Amino acid sequence: MRIDKWIVIVAIVVLAALTSCRKTPSNPKNTVRQQPNAARTEPQIAQQTNVARMEPERVQSEDERSCQEFVHKFYDWYVHGVWSDFCKGTHDTESCNKAAEFGSVEKMSMKQVLSPKLEKLFNDDQAAEAAANEDGVGYLEDGDRFLNTNGGPSSHYEVKNVRVKNGVCNADVYGESDKGAKDAKIMPELAKTGNRWVITNIYDHYDFYDKRAKKQVSGDDDLVSGLTNDLKYNRDVIKHKKK
């Protein structure tokens, strides 16, 4: 009988040992506490930084590429025309030679370039200014809004940061004198008509000296607002002359 008791005791001990082993985690990974994000090592951070740097730059859409190409062609054509007139006298020979390089650019017309609404506003203003002032030849005589300058234009312009949203294209245009500038001074807005782009407005950013404030300040304007205000002024002058 004593032997039977010992057998029972040994069986109980063995069973208890087996139960204890089952409660021990079988996966050693569960016994290691993972590092929180804040405790990432420098190699881990460097590896993630390198991956971020390897991400490709944003690829232009087809509309963005075609819009950029159109704006480039327009400014090459327009600047060549401006310099052709400007260089008839004695002017900056180096800039004139640079501008002459664009003599073979695709020929355009304002009818092709401007939206019907902007073209009408542009023509109405030129006609009203000519009627209001015998010496007037149109709004752009006072300041070329396509180039945002009252003086000589750059011999070449670059188009950057083109973006298209809901069928509207916006771009930043930089002249040679604007290199390194944080903000663009010329920002055309375009819309697509059929399979081609047309200019609907041109926004510009300019700096001028404020005599009252006695310091250099910045301002913003746009072609549509400028033409509209100028047209109203010229029509008021015409009415006054008729009285």
pTM of the model: 0.67
pLDDT in tens, 117-143: 999 999 999 889 888 875 554 444 456
Which of 88-92, 185-189, 212-216 holds the top average pLDDT? 185-189
pLDDT band at 4 (very low <50, low <70, confident <90, very high): low
Distances (CA, A) of 219 to 77, 185, 207, 209: 28, 10, 6, 11
Q: What pLDDT, on a 0 to 100 scale, did the predictor assign at position 229?
A: 92
The answer to whether residue 170 is domain-embedded is yes
Which range has the worst mean pLDDT, 140-144, 172-176, 178-182, 201-205? 140-144
Range of the domain at 141: 62-242
Q: What pLDDT, on a 0 to 100 scale, did the predictor assign at position 177?
A: 73
The domain that holds 105 is classified in CATH as: 3.10.450.50
Q: Per the structure, how many domains does the chain have?
A: 1
pLDDT band at 201 (very low <50, low <70, confident <90, very high): very high
Q: What pLDDT, on a 0 to 100 scale, did the predictor assign at position 60?
A: 86
CA gap 118, 101 in Å, rounded = 29
The answer to whether residue 19 is domain-embedded is no
Distances (CA, A) of 187 to 9, 71, 150, 190: 93, 10, 17, 10
Q: What pLDDT, on a 0 to 100 scale, did the predictor assign at position 31?
A: 43
The answer to whether residue 32 is domain-embedded is no
